[in-house]
């Protein structure tokens, strides 16, 4: 597999910016959403957030190991690297205590989190339609602001915090990082399939 270094450097740089600047503003705020949109424009073509990468993975050719899974997998790794570098800088390599603590793995108690999972899938389905139809960084960012309460948007940041904390809670963080993104990606796929099943306006007009 040929590694796309420019693409991965954009992911590292964008994730660095998100962890260093944007997440401190709160992604669910107008300021945070505006900063996210600027980051998407500055690092053109970068996903920056695991939920974006997972949505691309699940709505692309699932049988394409190299072009889809490996390529997007490198994006996920690059996002975690960027977040780690930002956290190391912001905490002066651990001299500044942030109070961060790893969140327990939630997938083992999925029955208790069923409604949350369904919420993630629904949010992924709705947001992916906004993201792919509007073709605007601003629309996507404000869509995430509106739906962010149902989605974990800080997966790479959490991974970076765990890595920079000498692997504290790394297993729980890793599983949550994967599962949070996966369910959003499944939601994106559901939204695409629903859209494909609905008759288009042109088809209805021709039928008349």
Q: Which two tokens mark 204?
A: 């209805």
**What's the pLDDT at 201?**
59
The phi and psi torsions of 106 (rounded to 5 degrees) equal -95, -15
**What's the pLDDT at 202?**
55
Distances in Å between the Cα of 137 and the Cα atoms of 16, 131, 164 are 18, 8, 30
Q: Is the pLDDT of residue 207 over 60?
A: no
Closest CA to 36 of 157, 189, 187: 157
Sign of CA dihedral 156, 62, 43, 125: negative
- 12-55 pLDDT, tens per residue? 999 999 999 888 777 778 888 999 999 999 998 899 999 999 99
Query: Domains in the chain and their CATH numbers?
Result: 5-200 (1.20.1080.10)
Closest CA to 128 of 42, 27, 60: 60
Query: Which residue's entry shows tokens 């088809």?
Result: 203
Query: How many Cα atoms are found within 13 Å in the side-chain-facing hemisphere of 161?
Result: 20
Report the first-to-last Cα separation within the chain, whole angstroms: 50
Query: Which residue's entry shows tokens 């996507």?
Result: 140
- Count other Cβ atoms within 10 Å, centred on residue 120: 25
pLDDT > 70: percent of the chain: 96
3-state secondary structure of 180: helix
Local structure of residue 49 (DSSP, 8 states): S
**What's the pLDDT at 1?**
67
**pTM, two decimal places:** 0.91
Q: Is the pLDDT of residue 157 over 60?
A: yes
**What's the pLDDT at 123?**
96
Distance CA 38, CA 183 (A): 26
- Count other Cβ atoms within 10 Å, centred on residue 136: 15
């Amino acid at each position: 597999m040929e590694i796309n270094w420019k693409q991965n450097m954009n992911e590292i740089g964008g994730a660095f910016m998100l962890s260093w600047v944007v997440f401190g503003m709160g992604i669910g705020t107008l300021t945070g959403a505006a900063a996210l949109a600027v980051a998407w424009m500055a690092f053109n073509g970068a996903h920056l957030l695991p939920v974006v990468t997972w949505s691309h993975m699940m709505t692309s050719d699932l049988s394409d190991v190299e072009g889809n899974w490996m390529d997007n997998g490198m994006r996920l790794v690059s996002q975690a690297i960027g977040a780690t570098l930002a956290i190391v800088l912001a905490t002066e390599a651990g001299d500044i205590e942030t109070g961060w603590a790893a969140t327990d793995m939630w997938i083992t108690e999925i029955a208790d989190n069923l409604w949350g999972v369904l919420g993630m899938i629904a949010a992924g389905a709705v947001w992916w339609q906004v993201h792919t139809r509007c073709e605007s960084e601003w629309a996507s960012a404000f869509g995430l602001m509106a739906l962010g309460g149902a989605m974990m948007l800080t997966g790479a940041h959490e991974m970076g915090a765990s890595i920079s904390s000498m692997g504290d809670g790394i297993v729980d963080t890793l599983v949550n990082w994967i599962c949070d993104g996966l369910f959003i990606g499944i939601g994106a796929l559901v939204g695409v399939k629903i859209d494909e099943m609905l008759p288009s306006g042109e088809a209805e007009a021709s039928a008349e």
